[in-house]
Amino acid sequence: MSATYVLVDRDGVINYDSDHFIKSEEEWIPLPGSLEAIALLNKNSYKVIVITNQSGIGRGLYNEATLAEMHHKMQRLTRLKGGEIEQIYYCPHVPEDNCQCRKPKPGLLNDFAREKNIMLKDIYFIGDKLADIHAAEAAGAKPILVKTGKGQKTLKNNPDITHPIFDNLYDAAKFIIR
């Protein structure tokens, strides 16, 4: 069987989010059940890919070395729960850069699909923001909204969302594996 993937946003889905950005390894704190959700997906033959906007780099709030420390912590804590994050794709740009990789544009998802030589039509992308849903739609992936992070606000401001909606990453993972 070929690899099956699940794409996951980072801030607000795997870890707590902040309107002031997650700027250090210390500020990177996993949401309850999120690392277990990744392990559950892995145990059911899914490889997890993180797709994340990290404009804090472009804003000068932290650098790529600090981002690497945050991601090392995320990987380490995920492994302790029996899971593995296959790869991390991130956009370091600010919105004003108008790049192709910043969600809601599909650049990071398309990069992933091109590198793995796969179609996205059967691949879920789990996020908490409208930008995540729009990026998934633009790339041809299957969006899922979670209510963690900015998810409640996203749902309140967009009550017409018709894609699957779950309380958290763990519930979304259970839906995917069933």
| Contact status, residue 83 vs residue 48, Cβ threshold 8 Å | yes
Q: For residue 120, how many other CB atoms are within 10 A of its CB? A: 20
- In this model, does residue 148 exceed pLDDT 50? yes
pLDDT tens column, 76-134: 999 999 999 999 999 999 999 999 999 999 999 999 999 999 999 999 999 999 999 99
Judge whether residue 31 has pLDDT over 90. yes
The residues with which 90 forms a beta bridge, in sequence order, are 52
> Which of 11, 128, 132, 171 is labelled catalytic?
11
Q: Which of 9, 17, 132, 171 does the annotation list as catalytic?
A: 9
Q: From CA 159, how far away is CA 165, in angstroms rounded? A: 11
Two structure tokens written together for 64: 């790529």
pLDDT of residue 3: 66
pLDDT band at 2 (very low <50, low <70, confident <90, very high): low
Q: What is the pTM of this model?
A: 0.97
**Topology of 4-177 in CATH?**
Rossmann fold (3.40.50)
The pLDDT score that the predictor gives to residue 143 is: 98
| H or E, element range at 82 | none
- Tell me if residue 11 is catalytic: yes
17: phi then psi, degrees, rounded to nearest 5: -105, 165
For residues 102 and 91, give the distance between their C-alpha atoms in angstroms, rounded to a whole number. 6
Q: Is 9 a catalytic residue?
A: yes
Q: In what order do the strands lie in the sheet with 4-8?
A: 85-91, 46-53, 4-8, 124-127, 142-146, 165-166
